Structure 1
Amino acid sequence: MNKLSKLAFIAAIAAFAASASAQSVSLSQQTSTDNWANGSQEYVWTNGSNELCWRSTSWTPTTANPKCDGALVVQATETPPVVPKITSQKVTYQADALFDFDKSELKANGKVELDTLVQKVRGLNLEVIVATGHTDKLGKEHYNDQLSMKRAQAVKNYLASQGVDANRIYTEAKGKRNPVVTDCHQKKRKDLIACLAPNRRVEIEVVGTVTEQANQPAY
């Protein structure tokens, strides 16, 4: 090769090296890579438009520099979004289980009944609780309205004393207007009171949300 040809060849190599280093990307810290790297192993050579990395003959997607084209990309596992699930439940307590007849003070056994409800409420993001008092048909309507309200209020006060937010508890009084049984016509008052027992009740409706992952199986 004459001197002029040698100079042209050296100039071409220099131009290629300058172009490649100008369009290079940092070499990954992986132990080996089958993309061409510079002598100090700091950069991978790319083409002039910085789109493609030069590859050796043993190149595979798994041995490619992760910053280069064609490299195997490990897909991140997506965490299912957390969504709230609305739940609503109505629980009916017989008044005789919570109160003595014609009374509005909670019995000890009644408090135990409500403690179970409190535990369930604590597992919710509580929206609202509605306590509705009902009586039987015995007595005047105004009296029964007052009694049913006092009983609903007694339930509210107890739930609040156990840590349930009182601002989310509402009370209603239905008195004797929504009976469950209507065919009680016993002559003896004791028997009539026993027959009318299902009408004496406190209905408690709880509305709230529970947080669970999307696509989580229901149990």
Structure 2
Amino acid sequence: MRLNTFGSKIVAVAAVGLFMAACSSDPAPTAATSGSGSTQQTATAPAATGIQAGTVQDFQVNVGDRVFFDYDKYEVKPAGKATLDKQAAWLKRYPQWKVVIEGHCDERGTREYNLALGERRANAVKNYLVNQGIPANRVTTISYGKERPVALGSNEAAWAQNRRGVTVLSN
């Protein structure tokens, strides 16, 4: 019995060590000033994060794969535009990728209403990317309405996470 307790302690110490190593921080992204004088965040280089450039992980971590919408709205908000600008630049750099834009809603409203709203959200994201120079034949849309929540709960925090457009890479 004593050996099991000792072994458990060793495992616990090793786990804490691994956890602390995993929590060590990489250099923070640098701020760059655009010609208009506004400051915007630039992503850490993929090599610095250990993520291979041009991969799904690169897109999700260094660019961002989702934008969020206000309640019962489908207009892309300024923060969403910044994310979509980064997505457009990334997609121009890696033309081998196509994307599927998923439109999602929170749990409020009927299934039919939310499917239609999710479609409008997906199309708003698609239209923004196309206006940024991404060929329309590289972008398709689908609406999941309220059927695939990312956050469970009947409160504003959960609903805000579920009102989203997600860009999924495909070949």
Q: Note whether the superposition's TM-score is higher than 0.5.
A: yes
Please tell me the root mean square deviation across aligned C-alpha atoms, in Å.
Answer: 2.1
- SS at structure 1 position matched to 2:65: strand
> Is the contact between residue 126 and residue 207 of structure 1 (CA under 8 Å) also seen in structure 2?
no
Which residue number corresponds to residue 179 of structure 1? 149
- SS at structure 1 position matched to 2:106: coil
Q: Kindly provide the amino acid, as one letter, of the partner of residue 155 in structure 1.
A: V
1:200 aligns with 2:166: no
Which residue number corresponds to residue 93 of structure 1? 66
* Equivalent position to 2:130, from 152, 156, 160: 160
Q: How many residues align?
A: 114
Cα deviation, 1:75-127, whole Å, max 9, x if unaligned, reads: xxxxxxxxxx98435553242xxx33211111233212210111111111234
Consecutive unaligned residues in structure 2, runs of 5 or more: 1-52
Cα deviation, 1:160-201, whole Å, max 9, x if unaligned, reads: 00110101100000011111222x24xxxxxx2233222222
* Equivalent position to 1:148, from 118, 121, 126: 118
* Residues 1:180 and 1:127: Cα distance change in structure 2 (over 3 Å): closer
1:136 aligns with 2:106: yes
* Residues 1:195 and 1:87: Cα distance change in structure 2 (over 3 Å): closer
TM-score by length of 1: 0.47
Consecutive unaligned residues in structure 1, runs of 5 or more: 1-84, 186-191, 209-219
Larger-gyration structure (1/2): 1
Q: Percent identical across equivalent pairs?
A: 37
Instruction: Give matches, 1:1-219, under 5 Å.
Output: 87-88=55-56, 89-90=59-60, 91-95=64-68, 99-182=69-152, 184-185=153-154, 192-207=155-170
Q: Kindly provide the amino acid, as one letter, of the partner of residue 148 in structure 1.
A: G
CA distance in 1, matches of 2:119, 2:67: 15
TM-score by length of 2: 0.59
CA distance in 1, matches of 2:148, 2:55: 25
